[in-house]
Amino acid sequence: MLDGGVPPPVDGTLRDRIARRFLSAAVGASLLASPRPAALLVRRRFAATGALMAQDLERHAGPGVIALTDERYGEEPDMLLDLYRPAGLSDSLPLLVWVHGGAFIGGAKEEVAGYLKLLAAGGHVVAAPRYSLAPEHRYPAPPRQVLRAVEHLQASAGRLGVDPGRIAIAGDSAGAHIAAQVAALVTTPGYADAVGVAPTIAPGQLRALVLACGPYDLGLARQVTSAAGRRFMQIVLWAYSGRRRFLDDPAFAAWSVADNVSSAFPPVLLTAGNADPLAPHSRLLAERLHDLGVEVETLFFPDDHDPPLGHEYQFELDTDAARGFLERLLAFLRQRLGR
């Protein structure tokens, strides 16, 4: 102790370790009763990293894209979307709806704006809907809201320059799950009734699906072995489902998209990094769809790929891997949606 009973200064590394241990203990204690405090802490951390990602993606966006922000697509407070289209093109263009990630408890449409501008510059109208987050709002609010956004975009097709006959849906991380579930709701007989969400688009309108780094299977969730992974999964899926024992709750079983796909599923492009803990979900979904005869394109990487590609690698546009996926994505959309 220093004079006067003041403790000595703590170096940054030790301070960080103490803070992490305190946070871990606080999160563990909160999970005895509710996922809410932990979920809000995770949301705050996601907001900080998301702001940095948004700045980096905007650096790559470039000019030539017109943005329409906070277009209302429904009566609920979160029912707003952003729209991006190439400047100077007045014809009706194919529509790509991109659902942002954030583990169902965080994230924002604004965080991926730079990336969506790149996709719009490729000749598409790109829509980014906001959706309601857990724990304040529970499953299946997000897929219902995304389908409502698609309904609004179809109804406003003339004003917004959208071709409603050429639609693709995409998403990253939790947004990839929501996008995949929307596709299953549209194409799998009986699934909409099981989930309680009515489709707002015909199967023939949904030409393509793009899924990056998402979770799709509750069976794989049971196999998480690390303590940190189990705790994070508990925070996220308890908050999203509203059920502490979500793995054993029949009402939440339909969340598992991999168990609810059919041969009518749209052509899909799937990717995940080799160091992404969710990569097994993408590989499993690709196998299930291939067995059903669905047209599946994948961009996966060898286990020993160096440098390792983590979760959401596709947004790190200074890397060869991310730029390679962007090229594959634009080619996939051209093939499925046309010019």
Going across the sheet that includes 206-212, the strands are: 65-72, 80-86, 125-129, 93-99, 162-172, 206-212, 268-271, 296-299
pLDDT in tens, 260-310: 999 999 999 999 999 999 999 999 999 999 999 999 999 999 999 999 999
User: What's the whole-number average pLDDT of the chain?
Assistant: 92
Domain total in the chain? 1
Report pLDDT for 22.
Answer: 44
Lowest mean pLDDT among 29-43, 156-170, 297-311: 29-43
DSSP 10: P
Strand partners, 162: 93
Instruction: Please report, rounded to a whole number, the percentage of residues in the chain having pLDDT higher than 90.
Output: 85
pLDDT band at 6 (very low <50, low <70, confident <90, very high): very low
pLDDT band at 62 (very low <50, low <70, confident <90, very high): confident
User: HSE on the CB side for 148, CA within 13 Å?
Assistant: 21
Report pLDDT for 55.
Answer: 97
pLDDT in tens, 96-145: 999 999 999 999 999 999 999 999 999 999 999 999 999 999 999 999 99
Any domain includes 184 = yes
Any domain includes 268 = yes
CA–CA distance, 336 with 205 (Å, rounded to integer): 11
Closest to 97 in 3D by CA, of 21, 201, 191: 201
What is the reported pTM?
Answer: 0.92
**Residue 72 pLDDT > 80, yes or no?**
yes
Any domain includes 68 = yes
Any domain includes 40 = no
pLDDT band at 31 (very low <50, low <70, confident <90, very high): low
What residues contact 238, with CB distance under 8 A and at least 6 apart? 31, 35, 244, 246
Report pLDDT for 18.
Answer: 42
Higher pLDDT among residues 26 and 30, named by residue = 30
CA–CA distance, 151 with 182 (Å, rounded to integer): 12
Any domain includes 266 = yes
Can you give the CATH number for the domain in which 194 is found? 3.40.50.1820
Any domain includes 33 = no
pLDDT in tens, 182-236: 999 999 999 999 999 999 999 999 999 999 999 999 999 889 988 889 999 999 9
Closest to 124 in 3D by CA, of 156, 176, 83: 83
Report pLDDT for 338.
Answer: 87
Any domain includes 275 = yes
Q: Which range marks the domain in which residue 206 is found?
A: 45-217+244-337
Any domain includes 250 = yes
**Residue 29 pLDDT > 60, yes or no?**
no
